Structure 1
Amino acid sequence: MTVIKHKSDSRGQADFGWLHSRHTFSFGRYFDPSRINFGALRVLNDDIVQPGMGFGTHPHDNMEIVSIPLSGDLEHQDSTGNTEVIRTGDVQIMSAGSGITHSEYNHSKSDPVNFLQIWVLPKERDITPRYQQITFDPAQRKNKLQTVVAPDDDRALWINQDAWFSLADLSQDKSLTYQTRQKGNGIYTFVIAGEVKVNEAKLESRDALGVTSLDEIGITATTDAQLLIIEVPMIESPY
């Protein structure tokens, strides 16, 4: 069993005025050879974009890119013709596949947007680029797991990988168990807000814990808490 703990204040960061970003894994100007990836999980960025600002058109290929707004609304455009607003409560996935260009901007002219952008290495390369977005009911994750990304669930966003994303909103002292869907996968728990215990490890807001070689983990909220759990194959580092 391997346990990897990533404290919130140990993350890399970038501040460009219009953008403040915290990087759990090496990204952009932040490089830590011990923090390249957790299996197929390559990027977990916690971005705050100022009103009316954003990322201009730029390319991606062969990456599964998931965006989860935590507050505010994100505007998306891409080269396949999609023009969407991703609102708080939505989850979006873009399979970059053989190649796609897109832009992301804060849809609001008055309020910042905070969102998680997560990259997962694909199972199959050079697939046709695709886009999908779903609005999820937060009541369906109250003190239980809500699957939002999966390769095998019509109620969730499809991903080109044997990976599952789950959200949970736990009341203080509530517990749940997460069981892996595929043997050998690792479990990466990211605390969006509040404090929890994952097995015996104490985590605070924006802390994360990666666990391998376990079929399940137990999670108990020590305060009201919001969680993102990412299950991924434990493939070798791509670099």
Structure 2
Amino acid sequence: MTADVRASATRATSTDEGRVTLHSFSFGPHYDPGNLGFGPLVCHNDDLVDAGAGYAEHPHTGLEIVTWVLEGALLHHDSTGSSHVVEAGRAQVLSAGSGIRHSEVADPASGRCRFVQAWLAPTTPGGPPTYTRGEAPPVGSGLVEVAGGDGLPIGTAGARLLLARLGPGDAVTLPDDAAQHVFAASGAVSLGDLDLHAGDAVRLTDEPGHVVTATRDTELLVWSFAG
């Protein structure tokens, strides 16, 4: 298989008051011309935010923004009028379309918040912005579509975010798609002769259908791209 392993320790780090962000791709001042994206995926940030801290209102245009909350809860407000608390184990999709403003702050009542946020290029830019959020997938049900497919709708054709919560020895088979970005948000897994630990990722671009086996309690996030 063609596997590009990206260890957690190689991620660029941004810090601000009450916030630490780890970047899987070139981002802002951490410019890396050799790591601008993977298929339509142009950002994969891992944020740890203190209660009450986060991102003040700011604009986005022409992006599909998918957020998965791992710990705590995230307060979301945007210029479409959406205002929600997104708890751990839930996802949100913000389609920026022709332009939107939003803020994201760790809910003070829930303490520290950790979330992973991905940005994808839309298939058809423009259009009105939209916001959706989803219920927590059931535990122990293998790989569950969180966004794309049967999950929350996203405007990037052929893209799916899948989640698995695995105990030691549990295994899942990756989709038969052209490419996958496999991220161990917590725990540890094996993939063939590869071992991934918390924060590690691997980008796979051929021979689909690989089996991932957890060696510890693990939360696994997989972006899968058809075509």
- TM-score, normalisation: structure 2: 0.94
**1:225 CA displacement:** 1.6
Q: Which residue of 2 aligns with 1:177?
A: 173
- Relative to 1, partners in 2 of residues 1:41 and 1:20: Cα closer, same or farther, differing over 3 Å? same
Q: Which residue of 1 aligns with 2:214?
A: 221
**60-69 or 48-57: which moved more?**
48-57
The DSSP-based 3-state class of the residue aligned with 1:9 is: helix
**1:137 CA displacement:** 3.5
Count how many residue pairs are aligned between Structure 1 and Structure 2.
226
**1:201 CA displacement:** 1.2
- TM-score, normalisation: structure 1: 0.89
CA contact (8 A) 2:186 2:218 kept: yes
Query: Over aligned residue pairs, what C-alpha RMSD do you find?
Result: 1.6
2:200 paired residue among 193, 196, 207? 207
Aligned-pair identity in percent equals 34
In structure 1, distance between residues paired with 2:172 and 2:137: 19
Q: Which residue of 1 aligns with 2:152?
A: 157
**1:122 CA displacement:** 0.9
CA contact (8 A) 1:67 1:92 kept: yes
**1:233 CA displacement:** 5.2
CA contact (8 A) 2:72 2:110 kept: no
CA contact (8 A) 2:17 2:53 kept: no
In structure 2, distance between residues paired with 1:186 and 1:199: 16
One-letter code aligned to 2:30: Y
Q: Which residue of 2 aligns with 1:147?
A: 145
In structure 2, distance between residues paired with 1:16 and 1:196: 31
**1:62 CA displacement:** 0.9
Runs of 4+ in 1 over 3 A off after TM superposition: none
Task: For structure 2, list consecutive stretches of 5 or more residues without a partner in the other structure.
Answer: none
In structure 2, distance between residues paired with 1:20 and 1:62: 25
Task: For structure 1, list consecutive stretches of 5 or more residues without a partner in the other structure.
Answer: 235-239
2:190 paired residue among 185, 189, 197? 197
CA contact (8 A) 2:73 2:110 kept: no
CA contact (8 A) 1:144 1:176 kept: yes
Q: Which runs of structure 2 are paired with 1:1-239 in the superposition (5 Å)?
A: 2-108=2-108, 111-139=111-139, 142=140, 144-150=142-148, 152-153=149-150, 156-161=151-156, 162-180=158-176, 182=177, 185-232=178-225
